[in-house]
Amino acid sequence: MQKDIISWFRMMSMILKYKDFLIETDENVYEPSDDTYLLLDVLEKMKIDNSLRVLEIGCGTGIVSVAVSFKVGSVVACDVNPYAVDLSEKNFKRNKARNAEAVNSDLFGNVKGKFDVIVFNTPYLPQSDDEKVSGPIDKAWDGGDDGRKVIDKFLLGCKAFLADGGYIVFLESSLSSYEKSVDYLGSLGFKVEIVGRKKLSFEELVVIRARLP
């Protein structure tokens, strides 16, 4: 195929199907992958009360928030990538997720209120400066030198945004030394469990749930 036709195809957004939902993708936004689907599986199996207030950090296409929105009271979805915020809003409308809204925010920066559940499929890849990809999609992977640049800030900030008895559910990897999160959250008094695992060829993905007593 001619080069210009190939790049035209790459620029086009696509629609993928997840369960009954149709999710539009965009070349500037992280496309749902193994990590997304592992997190979705875990959330699907979790007993979630239909009155809960949920915050998703790093919503990407909005696929996780769309799926969760039908099980809970309300969802605030945020992302530091403005393309992800616009795309999530589109996907909320497309799927009639009327209780979900998207906000442009660097972690908790523009988030107000307290939440019963905070969900985050984190950017956990160790990445040096010369491995950076151009554009805001780089934030989807960039975990800094040790993969923990964003995760550590998230863990430091989350307690202030959790309602009494609330919990966080987040995904990271053996590449970001997830045991450090388990130990740190334990030291803050959270009850910590690994609620999902998937081995891939070069890493193990884990989903961690940590609840405030």
Ligand X SMILES: C[S@@+](CC[C@H](N)C(=O)[O-])C[C@H]1O[C@@H](n2cnc3c(N)ncnc32)[C@H](O)[C@@H]1O
Which residues in this chain contact ligand X in the complex, by CB under 6 A?
30, 32, 35-36, 39, 57-61, 63-64, 78-81, 84, 105-107, 121, 123, 139-140, 150
- From the CB of 65, what's the least distance to ligand X, in Å? 8
How far apart CA 159 and CA 93 sit, in angstroms, is 31
Select 39 or 42, whichever has its Cβ closest to ligand X: 39
Query: Strand runs (DSSP E) across 32-190, as ranges?
Result: 53-57, 74-79, 100-104, 115-121, 162-173
- From the CB of 74, what's the least distance to ligand X, in Å? 18
| Among the listed residues 193, 70, 61, the one whose alpha carbon sits nearest the alpha carbon of residue 121 | 61
Q: Decide: 147 and 122 in contact? Cβ < 8 Å.
A: no
Query: Strand runs (DSSP E) across the chain, as ranges?
Result: 15-18, 21-24, 53-57, 74-79, 100-104, 115-121, 162-173, 191-199, 204-211
Select 144 or 166, whichever has its Cβ closest to ligand X: 144
Q: Decide: 78 and 72 in contact? Cβ < 8 Å.
A: no
- From the CB of 2, what's the least distance to ligand X, in Å? 31
Select 2 or 201, whichever has its Cβ closest to ligand X: 201
Which residue shows structure tokens 């995760």? Answer: 151
Select 35 or 89, whichever has its Cβ closest to ligand X: 35
- From the CB of 185, what's the least distance to ligand X, in Å? 19
Q: Which two tokens stand for residue 25?
A: 């993708």
Select 60 or 126, whichever has its Cβ closest to ligand X: 60
- From the CB of 91, what's the least distance to ligand X, in Å? 11
Q: Which residue is nearest to ligand X (CB)?
A: 58
